[in-house]
Structure 1
Amino acid sequence: MRRHVYLKGIGTTLFIGLFFGAYFYLLKDPAYPATVMPVTLLDRLIGFQPQALPIYISLWVYVSLPPALLATRRQLYGYGMAMALTCLAALAVFYFWPTAVPAANIDWSLYSDLEFLKSMDAAGNACPSLHVATAVFSAVWLHRLLRNFSAPQWMLFINWIWCTGIVYSTLATRQHVAVDVLAGLALGLLGAYLSLRYRKCPARYPESGAKPLADGFAGGTD
């Protein structure tokens, strides 16, 4: 985590900023009329829970963890490219097939934090849920990195609990419906699988005692 601190901090901030720029552009200027996503039985089973908002917002901390654990510039650039391609795939869907979450029968003025979120994020660009896709992508990478570092099982458990909480919060805050979440799960898993599967190269860190990455971006040199 001590390596390339400025590159990681500035790079992650710029990445998120560029993503939001593209996201809000498509949100406010869709190419086609938006399709309202259907409500399913799962949506009805999961009630509205405003207390899930902090978990929802914690995504922006969560997605910064995998790059923080990478050691070389080459790994960081490769990871950033894989995450960017995953996000671009969703943005392409948003452009050609804009979607929206159905209006919820909720008085948002009673929940000021959620009302602010709704005013910023609106209900568009719903499917696939990028909140879910990026959380799942990060979870798979974190799991691989933590295993590489021989992390204790409780860390692996917390990783997946955190990811599950973020996924759940998208439904509990009514930011997405189940169809959006399932599509986001598929996109995140596919992006993580491809980025780990087709970039195999051992990356060793003798000074830390960590095992080589079985899969992952090449270690390279600083």
Structure 2
Amino acid sequence: MNRAHIGAADGEQTLSASKQMPWYRQAAAVFPRHAFLKAIGTTLFIGVFFGAYFYLLKDPAYPTTVMPVIWLDQLIPFQPGTLSVYISLWVYVSIPPAFLATRRELYGYGMAMAATCLAGLIVFYFWPTAVPAANIDWARYPDVDFLKSMDAAGNACPSLHVTTAVFSGIWLHHLLRRFGAPLWVLSINWIWCIGIVYSTMATRQHVAVDVLAGLALGVLAAYLSLRQRADAGVIGKVSRPSI
């Protein structure tokens, strides 16, 4: 039996053995597995991503297109209080890999997330975009102003903030369902995810077109990655992912 089959078998044995445990005990049992790999892998991934992101942000290869404002943008007011929700993405994206049981699952998840981000970065390279200037005195909102100074208005469409939040939300929903988590836990996941998506517009980091493109990329990437894992027999015994 090769390593791939062993990894899949271990994952199925873990699921089978834990079916009689409450969902939170299943989650707690999986959380410390490969903790060093999870911590180092997540940290390195975020570091490499930011390196590539800021390089493209400060040195675009082509002229920048300013994204249009549509009717949906007019419905969402500027809300500086949502900044904390916006920043919470970096905690949120760390949760799904923490609940993966085997190295094979971790490697597969990492490759899927990397491919998703790479797709967005390729778009940024060939089609640089920016958010239109907002008629706001940023000096009145120092926390948001600091964010603006660190993350300029470029690399707008698709919003990778939205893409990674939605990708993580779908995966986390799937993993929580695998544990047998109750509806209120699943609801908290989606409330958090939706809050992050909303905050991208409420902080004026993105416009609606960026968000819609990010949603499309995140949903597509998550669905394809989950379907691939299910077809390979890695995620439980379900033949197709449920999202």
- Per the normalisation by structure 1, the TM-score is 0.92
Contact 1:202 1:213 in 2 (8 A): yes
Give RMSD over aligned pairs: 1.4
CA deviation profile, 1:83-141 (whole Å, cap 9, x unmatched): 00000000000000000000000011111111110001000000000000000000000
Alignment partner, residue 37 of structure 1: 67
Q: Write the letter of the residue equivalent to 1:67.
A: P
- 1:137 matched to which residue of 2? 167
Q: Which residue of 2 aligns with 1:199?
A: 229
Q: Distance in 1 between matches of 2:216 and 2:185?
A: 24
Q: Deviation at 1:2?
A: 1.0
Q: Is the 8 A contact 1:104 1:174 kept in 2?
A: yes
Describe how 1:1-222 pairs up with structure 2 within 5 A: 1-200=31-230, 201-203=232-234, 212=236, 214=238
Give the total of aligned pairs: 210
Q: CA deviation at 1:199?
A: 2.2
Distance 1:78 1:216, change over 3 A: farther
Once the two structures are aligned, what percentage of the paired residues are identical?
76
Could you tell me how far apart the structure 2 residues matched to 1:145 and 1:199 are?
Answer: 12
Offset of residue 203 of structure 1: 4.8
Are the aligned partners of 1:50 and 1:114 in contact in 2 as well (CA < 8 Å)? yes
- Aligned match of 2:22: none
Comparing both structures, which one devotes a greater share of its residues to helix?
2
Structure 2: gaps of 5 or more residues: 1-30
Deviation per CA, 1:37-58, whole angstroms, max 9, x where unpaired? 0001110110000000000000
Please give the secondary structure, in 2, of the residue aligned with 1:32.
Answer: coil
Counterpart of 2:238 in structure 1: which amino acid?
A
TM-score by length of structure 2 reads: 0.84
The answer as to whether partners of 1:65 and 1:142 remain within 8 angstroms in 2 is yes
1:208 aligns to what? Answer: none
The letter for the 1-side match of 2:167 is: F
Larger radius of gyration: 2
Q: CA 1:215/1:125 → structure 2, altered by over 3 Å: closer, same or farther?
A: farther
- Which structure 1 segments of 5+ residues have no match? 205-211, 218-222
